[in-house]
Amino acid sequence: MTDNGDVTQGSVLLTAALDGVPEAVVICDSAGAVVFENASAHKVLSSRPSDALLVQAVDELVAEALGGAEPYRRVELLSPSRRTLAVRAFPVTSPPEGAVAVIEDISDRLRLEAVRRDFVANVSHELKTPTGAIALLAETIEGETDPDVVSRLVERLGAEADRLSRTIDDLLDLSRIEANESSADDEVDIAALIDEAVARLLESAESLKVVVSPAAVDVGLRVRGNRRDLLSAVSNLVDNAIKYSEAGGAVRVEAHRTHRGVEISVADHGIGIPSRDLSRIFERFYRVDRARSRSTGGTGLGLSIVRHVATNHGGRVKVRSVEGEGSTFTLILPDATPSSPI
Ligand code: ADP
């Protein structure tokens, strides 16, 4: 093959390789004229009005790079969707001289960083509140001589320590479940799972004068997955139904086989959830009423755990709720019940 053939083949390969790069690459000659743009650059710089801002940024940064600088700038685009692009440019000094501009969409990275920052701030706050209370109570006990007061303070100290330890347990559970590394090979008997979840919470139901009945559970239902995580999800739903019921309330747990899979529903006639909060209650630490959640010992993590368990099992969770009337949470999971007609 001739030199020319090599050069042609090389440049075809180079174009194909650069077209496969997700970042937009623009190469300019020493006069600042564009001599090459890869497929991503063509797409991002194609002439929509809002991209004029980006074209201008590339022009300016290329001009600076031709002067020997390595400039960097963030460009916010509002249309067709809100995006943040990072534009970098650098000079090519070996002849033929020129400059290269690289444009990268960093919106997802910025969003993830913001979520992580929020999460760290929330965790710190959630841990700081009980630790602060513990320190204060310990200090007060030290100077107290009245045994009745001391015993009341010690009781509160215990409650704060419990809250701290529940938050840490839920955080550990959530991070394990989010990593989705637990084995998912158990064949889980749903009726037995519901019985166990209800039995665990019977004491707290009794103390709040709420009746829990595992009513209407189809026989033989099976789901394939991680039993411990599924138990944690169902227990969280039953726990909430109890906590957010009024004294004398009833909680009903059902499980049926439907065309959508195995549906486990937990219904209460409690305080309900305002419609404006419904889309947010599955977020970590989101509570409709902080004071109520605190007084019932909530960590604000239960529903995040439920949602992650559902997703990890290829299912989902849905909620129907009317403020002042009650809520029904339904876990929908892929059916692994041995074949028999519905
Ligand atoms: P918490 O530990 O605060 O209960 P969750 O993540 O389990 O946290 O729930 C988030 C919020 O959703 C609760 O603080 C509460 O405001 C609301 N919520 C959850 N379940 C119910 C329910 N059955 N009835 C009314 N509100 C509920």
Nearest CA to ligand 1 atom 12: 281
Q: Does ligand 1 have an atom closer than 6 angstroms to the CB of 44?
A: no
- The pTM score is 0.79
Q: Kindly tell me the sign of the dihedral angle through the C-alpha atoms of 93, 99, 105, 110.
A: positive
The β-bridge partners of 88 are 72, 102
Q: Does ligand 1 have an atom closer than 6 angstroms to the CB of 281?
A: yes
pLDDT tens, position by position, 88-132: 999 999 888 999 999 999 999 999 999 999 999 999 999 999 999
The pair phi, psi for residue 40, each rounded to 5°, is -65, -40
The β-bridge partners of 99 are 28, 91
Instruction: List for the chain the helix, strand, coil content (%; round to 5).
Output: 50, 25, 30
Query: What percent of the chain has pLDDT above 70?
Result: 96
Q: How far is the CA of 281 from the centre of ligand 1 (A)?
A: 7
Model confidence at 292, in pLDDT bands (50, 70, 90)?
Answer: confident
| All domains of the chain in start order, with CATH | 4-105 (3.30.450.20), 107-179 (1.10.287.130), 184-342 (3.30.565.10)
Nearest CA to ligand 1 atom 3: 300
Cβ neighbours of 154 (radius 10 Å):
14
- Please name the helix (run of DSSP H) or strand (run of DSSP E) that holds residue 41, with its range, or none: helix 39-45
Cβ neighbours of 236 (radius 10 Å):
24
- Backbone region of residue 205 per phi and psi (left: phi > 0; alpha: psi in -120 to 50; beta: other values): alpha
3-state secondary structure string, 258-288?
ECCEEEEEEEECCCCCCHHHCCCCCCCCCCC
Q: Does ligand 1 have an atom closer than 6 angstroms to the CB of 130?
A: no
Give the number of the atom of ligand 1 that is nearest the alpha carbon of residue 288: 16
The β-bridge partners of 188 are 223
Q: How far is the CA of 324 from the centre of ligand 1 (A)?
A: 14
Window from 42-51, 165-174, 188-197 with minimum mean pLDDT:
42-51
pLDDT tens, position by position, 31-73: 999 999 999 998 888 756 557 889 999 999 999 999 999 999 9
Closest CA to 308 of 208, 181, 177: 177
pLDDT tens, position by position, 307-342: 999 999 999 999 999 999 999 999 999 999 887 544
